[in-house]
Chains A and B, each alone.
Chain A
Amino acid sequence: MDLETVRKRAGPREFGPADDMPERYRTAATRMIQFHANSEVMGGYLDKTFTRKAPSLDRKLANTAKVQDEIGHAQLLYRAAETLGVKTRAEMLEELANGDGKFLNCFHYPVDSWYEAPMIDFFVDGGAMRRQATLKSTSWTPYAHAMDKICFEEGFHVKHGESILRELMNGSKATQERTQETFDEWWPRILQFFGPTNDESVHDDFGRAVGLKTVTNDELRNSFLNMYIPKAEKHGLEIPEYPRIYERDDGTMAVREDDLDWDEFRTISRNEYEGSHEQIGSRRRRQEAVDWVRKSLDSWESSAGTTPRAAD
């Protein structure tokens, strides 16, 4: 299929492994899904810190269930990415380990307190879910199918995240203050989750032209602000004065770009932030620690093989 045909046919769940897709489509889709899969892994690893920090058994159980979900999401997405025939799962995991794999900005900041749990589980998962819901209509069918299952599960993450926020904001004065301080720290990162305003990058334009993406980051940011600011306020959080958020003439919400630290953001997107090294390194060491499991599965697979009954 040539690019012209792809552009013309582009629509929800329009293409699949049976279609002969042009190189540029397959590369762009692989980049996007691999980024998404990597983010699920890194988000899961970040989140697992909270199991130890959680104040009650219920919260610990819920957190382990969430982490298990996230790692499952990564597996679904690596499979969806593999269907494009560009990279194997092993290659993508290797890239993540050696620092070449890219992932969401928010997962480059190591966490160490329970107050950070709702920042990730409510706001970051909430933002991610906004985006994921739109990806149910992506043009690469295996990606859309992965979204069906992921979105089914994510509602629990967001509600549980909000439940933690609510609990903290109903706690003692000191707890409320700590939560507010943590929110102040995370809020700019959460806003940067959607990338720079008007960042209609080359990847973005192409992604939309061939139906991989259906909405812009700007639209996502706007709807996120409309939904999540009232939620934060409802629980008694104050939205920091900076970065300034304003309403544009068309009634949509935006962020004053200059109030955000884009140098840090770019350092992060190159995996060169201090936290990037820490997060990538700690996951790589765990991957290495269970290398023997992977090896034994591989040797088992090559010795057992699949039963060669379908000879034809």
Chain B
Amino acid sequence: MIWEVFRQEAPGDYHEHVGNVHAPDREMAKLFARIQHARRMQTNSLWVTPREEIGEVSAEDAAFDGRTDKSYRWAMTYNEIDASFAEEVADSESEQREAARKRREALRDEGNEA
């Protein structure tokens, strides 16, 4: 069976998906994951999980959540307000701006394909 592998580089990091391995059981999956994904790469921890146990939301389903105009829930909408007075508010706004930009690009690409 196929096991998906998630690697955490350093303590405190997120476990990120790095690939998958064939293995008959969990112990073997851990062994193969180590060989494939932790032999050279700095690794603090590895997770393996059977592929069948993963539930996926498709790109199409995920994109649906951004179709209607929900500008009211973005920090950038309130542009009469200057966020620079507090670092954390300014950071949040720039993270949101970046997320919104990616979202817009994805929608535009899709429009070009159609």
Q: Which residues of A come within 8 Å of B, CB atoms?
A: 12-16, 18, 58, 61-62, 65-66, 69, 126, 129-130, 132-133, 141, 144-145, 151-156, 158-160, 162-163, 166, 227, 230-231, 306-307, 309-310, 312
Contact = CB atoms under 8 A, between A and B. Distances in A.
Q: Is the interface of B mostly helix, strand, loop or mixed?
A: helix
A307 B81 CA distance: 50
A166 B81 CA distance: 9
Q: What are the 7 tightest A-B residue pairs by CB atom distance, in nearest-first order?
A: A13-B12, A155-B92, A312-B25, A133-B88, A65-B73, A155-B75, A159-B78
Contacts of B81: 159, 162-163, 166
Interface stretch (B45-53, B58-66, B105-113): B45-53
Contacts of A16: 11-12, 45
Contacts of A18: 45
A230 B95 CA distance: 25
Given A58-B72, A61-B72, A159 B83 contact: yes
Nearest to A15: B11
Interface in B82-105: 83, 85-93, 95-96, 99
B27 to A, nearest CB: 7
A14 B11 contact: yes
B17 interface: no
A129 B86 contact: yes
**Most A C-beta atoms less than 10 A away, residue of B13, B77, B92:** B92
Contact of A151 (B11, B14, B78, B92): B92
Given A58-B72, A151-B91, A14 B12 contact: yes
Contact of A309 (B45, B50, B80): B50
A309 B52 CA distance: 8
Contact of A129 (B11, B25, B27, B88): B88
A156 B73 contact: yes
A129 B86 CA distance: 10
B26 interface: yes
Contacts of B80: 163, 166
A66 B72 CA distance: 10
